[in-house]
Structure 1
Amino acid sequence: MDQTHDADLSAVAALDEPTRRRLYDHVVRQVAPVGRDEAAETLGLARQTAAFHLDRLAEEGLLDVVYERRSGRSGPGAGRPAKLYRRSSKQVTVSLPGRRYDLAGRLLAQALEESEATGEPPRAVLHRKAHDMGKELGTQDAVGALDLLERYGFEPRSEGDAVVLGNCPFHTLAREHTETVCGMNLQLLEGFLEGLHETGLRACLAPAPGRCCVRLEPASGK
């Protein structure tokens, strides 16, 4: 698991505590940032309890902390700004097994837009975009092929000289739009290997129940 996934799991786990969840729900329903006293009074909590849980939500990145003077006054004698909480812009997504529909959506949207602008067939654009993205990811992440595949949710495992991918990050899309999504996935993984300068493996379509449609075979078997 990568650090982002671990952080998302931690954030979701933080909301499992009932009082903390009530506070989070209260804050996100408000138009303006919420103070500790207000939250405690509204939910019938001790101020110390509300403060503890609000700070925990802020530590997990689920709430942002801002400081404002509620009196509207400024300068000497205006008092200290109050510590307030509001929903953060952080997006938390946890999926087990791992899914990367955001990545697929970005590629499909880019392909559609470029196809409409240039007249190039959408599938050709999609394959090129997927290959380019895979290559970029492989170039940016200076790790081994298995580590990179694990990071993006493919659950790789060695099978002799080949690598089997135990999970498809685009599972639902691949099941409903098999040719389009599996072709995109193949190009993405070819780009991965190229970006990593992994010359010992090649990506090939080898669909089978319970795993990704792409398998990494020894390049010598080409």
Structure 2
Amino acid sequence: MAVRPLPDRLAALAALDDPVRRAVFDLVSRAEAPVSRDAAAEALGVTRRIAAMHLDRLAEEGLLEFEFRRPPGRGGPGAGRPAKLYRRAGDEVAVSVPERHYDVIGSLLADAVSESIASGEAVQDVLHRTAYESGRAWAAETDDLDAALAGAGYEPSVTEPGTITLRNCPFHRLARQYTSLVCNVNLDLLRGVVEGSPFRAVLDPRPGQCCVRLLPA
């Protein structure tokens, strides 16, 4: 349920704005095996220092992963230092304005369907429970409810004393197509998030806002 903070995702995408760095990323992405600094420098016609700088920046932003390995057939004393090899990171980086997190609800739906197939329990029952438990697990990761909601793209705002309005729906497009399904999953998710807090989650759809509001418990 954890969502990578928006500033981190923006920084990662901004790192690709440099044409040389983008070329380095494309080179590593197309390669069938991890790429060394020397190989990147030779392929792109830049110095090893420039290649290393861009490779490390991409790794810092989470776009590349790296490992240290000696070339095949070289080992033992005198083999030299292992080479730093880079490959494309397995996780994707996505940014949308306003924030959308279709991966979150997609994961909930996939988990529920998989468990239903394995157990024979009704998908709807599993889905409600899965969303609620995911919300509880998400809340356990932080003590700051407002920051957690903001980080997930809900854009929380106190519009009345003790009431939190969620001004953005992270699942907007799916909520428009499958309103009842998505809004009820969202409600169960947020019920889990606010459990033990001074709030309760209720369905209260309003134009331009999330379908759930958080009222005083």
Answer yes or no: same fold by TM over 0.5.
Answer: yes
Structure 1 residue 3: deviation in Å? 6.1
Map 1:59-98 to 2 at 5 A: 59-70=60-71, 72-98=73-99
1:53-94 CA distances to partner (integer Å, 9 max, x unpaired)? Answer: 122222223223333333622234433333332223343232
**What letter is aligned with 1:75?**
G
Judge conservation of contact 2:5–2:151 (CA < 8 Å) in 1: no
**Aligned position for 2:173:** 172
Structure 1 residue 180: deviation in Å? 0.2
1:169-191 CA distances to partner (integer Å, 9 max, x unpaired)? Answer: 11111111110000111111122
**Aligned position for 2:197:** 198
**What letter is aligned with 1:156?**
P
Structure 2: runs of 5 or more not aligned: none
C-alpha change, 1:92 and 1:183, in structure 2 (3 Å) is same
**Aligned position for 1:181:** 182
The CA distance in 1 between the partners of 2:76 and 2:152, in whole Å, is 51
Considering only aligned residues, what root-mean-square deviation do their CA atoms show, in Å? 2.2
**What letter is aligned with 2:131?**
A
1:100-140 CA distances to partner (integer Å, 9 max, x unpaired)? Answer: 22221222122223333444332222122212222232234
**What letter is aligned with 1:147?**
A
Judge conservation of contact 1:154–1:166 (CA < 8 Å) in 2: yes
Judge conservation of contact 1:123–1:180 (CA < 8 Å) in 2: no
Structure 1 residue 12: deviation in Å? 1.2
Q: Is it true that 1:51 corresponds to 2:52 in the alignment?
A: yes
C-alpha change, 1:81 and 1:149, in structure 2 (3 Å) is closer
**Aligned position for 2:209:** 211
TM-score by length of 1: 0.85
Structure 1 residue 147: deviation in Å? 2.4
Q: Report the count of equivalent residues.
A: 214
TM superposition outliers: structure 1 runs of 4+ over 4 Å: none
The CA distance in 1 between the partners of 2:212 and 2:166, in whole Å, is 7
**What letter is aligned with 1:78?**
A
TM-score by length of 2: 0.86
Structure 1: runs of 5 or more not aligned: none
**Aligned position for 1:151:** 151
The CA distance in 2 between the partners of 1:122 and 1:71, in whole Å, is 50
C-alpha change, 1:56 and 1:138, in structure 2 (3 Å) is closer
Q: Per the alignment, in what secondary structure is the counterpart of residue 41 of structure 1?
A: helix
**What letter is aligned with 2:172?**
H
Q: Per the alignment, in what secondary structure is the counterpart of residue 17 of structure 2?
A: coil
Q: Per the alignment, in what secondary structure is the counterpart of residue 15 of structure 1?
A: helix
